[in-house]
A and B are shown apart, each in its own frame.
Chain A
Amino acid sequence: MNTNTHDRQGGGGGGSFLSRLGGLDRRWIFLAMGLSIAVPILLKLRFPEVPGPMARATFDAIESIPAGSRVLLAFDYDPASAGELQPMANAMVHHCAARGHRIVFMALWPLGKQMADATIKDVLLEFHPQYAYGTDYVQLGYKAGNEAVVKLMATDIPQQYSTDAAGAALASLPLVADVKSTTDFKLVASISAGYPGAKEWVQYANSANPEAFKLVSGSTGVQVSQLLPYYPAQMEGLLVAVKGAAEYEMLVTAAYPSADKPDLLAERLGQGRVRMGPQLVAHLLMIGLIILGNIAMVAGRSRGGAR
Chain B
Amino acid sequence: MNARNTNDDAGQPDGCPPAASAATPARPSLRFLWLSLAVLGASLTVFGTAMAAQDAGATDAAQATVALSKSIGIWCAALMTIGILTFLYKDNPFYKVCESILIGVSAAYWMVNGFWSTLVPNLFGKLMPSVVREYAIPSLPVSDTPGFDMALAFVPLALGLMLLWRLAPKGGWISVWPLAFIIGTTAGIRLVASIEADLLAQASATIRPLVVMKDSVLAPAAGGGSAATAEMAATAVRTVDFWGTVGAVTGVVGVLSVLSYFFFSLEHKGAVGKSARLGVWFLMITFGSAFGLTVMGRITLLAQRLEFLFKDWLGLG
Pick from A12-20, A125-133, A144-152, A294-302 the stretch touching chain B.
Answer: A144-152
A151 to B143, CA, bound (A): 22
What A residues does B294 contact at CB under 8 A? 221-222
Interchain CB contact (< 8 A) of A27 among B16, B141, B296, B299? B16
Whether B189 contacts A148 by the Cβ 8 Å rule is: yes
Q: How far is the CB of B113 from chain A (nearest CB, A)?
A: 5
Nearest chain B residue, comparing its CB with the CB of A150: B193
Write out, one digit per residue, whether chain A residues 206-236 have a CB within 8 A of any chain B CB (1) or not (0): 1100100000000011101100011001100
Q: A167-B138, A207-B197 are in contact. Are A26 and B296 (CB under 8 A)?
A: no
CB–CB B303/A37 < 8 A: yes
- CB contacts (< 8 Å) of B16 on chain A: these are 9, 25-27
Specify the chain A residue showing the minimal Cβ separation from B139. Answer: A167
Given contacts A1-B23, A167-B139, A225-B289, contact A233 B204 (CB under 8 A): yes
| Docked pose: A275 CA to B191 CA in angstroms | 39
* Interface check A274, CB cutoff 8 A: yes
A163: CB under 8 A from chain B? yes
Q: Does B13 contact A (CB under 8 A)?
A: yes
Within 8 Å by CB of A207, from B23, B118, B193, lies B193
A37 vs B205: C-alpha distance when bound (angstroms): 40
Asked whether A41 and B310 contact (CB < 8 A) given A26-B15, A27-B88, A234-B197, the answer is yes
The segment out of A98-106, A182-190, A238-246, A253-261 that lies at the interface is A238-246
Contact in complex: A147, B299 (CB < 8 Å): no
Task: Verify A206–B317 contact, CB threshold 8 A.
Answer: no
Which stretch from A62-70, A116-124, A278-286 is at the chain B interface?
A: A278-286
Q: Does A84 contact B300, Cβ atoms closer than 8 Å?
A: yes
User: Could you tell me the distance between the alpha carbons of A130 and B63 in the complex, rounded to whole angstroms?
Assistant: 28
Q: Is A168 close to B, CB under 8 A?
A: yes
Q: Which 4 A-B pairs have the closest CB atoms?
A: A167-B139, A83-B304, A221-B297, A221-B293
- Using a CB–CB distance below 8 Å, which chain B residues touch chain A? 13-18, 20, 23, 88-89, 109, 113-114, 117-118, 122, 137-139, 141, 189-190, 193-194, 196-198, 201-202, 204-205, 286, 289-290, 293-297, 299-307, 310, 316-317
A-B contact pairs, 30 of them (CB 8 A): A1-B20, A9-B16, A27-B88, A30-B88, A34-B306, A38-B310, A41-B303, A41-B307, A41-B310, A83-B301, A110-B117, A143-B117, A147-B190, A147-B193, A148-B189, A151-B189, A163-B139, A166-B139, A167-B137, A168-B139, A203-B197, A220-B297, A221-B293, A229-B205, A233-B204, A241-B297, A241-B300, A242-B296, A274-B307, A279-B299
Hey, which bits of chain A sit against chain B, CB under 8 A?
1-2, 5-6, 9, 25-27, 30, 33-34, 37-38, 41-42, 44, 80, 82-84, 110, 142-144, 147-148, 151, 162-163, 166-169, 202-204, 206-207, 210, 220-222, 224-225, 229-230, 233-234, 240-243, 274-275, 278-279, 282-283, 286
Q: A9-B16, A83-B301, A221-B300 are in contact. List 12 more A-B contacts (CB 8 A).
A: A1-B23, A27-B89, A38-B306, A83-B305, A110-B109, A110-B113, A144-B117, A207-B196, A222-B293, A225-B286, A225-B289, A279-B296
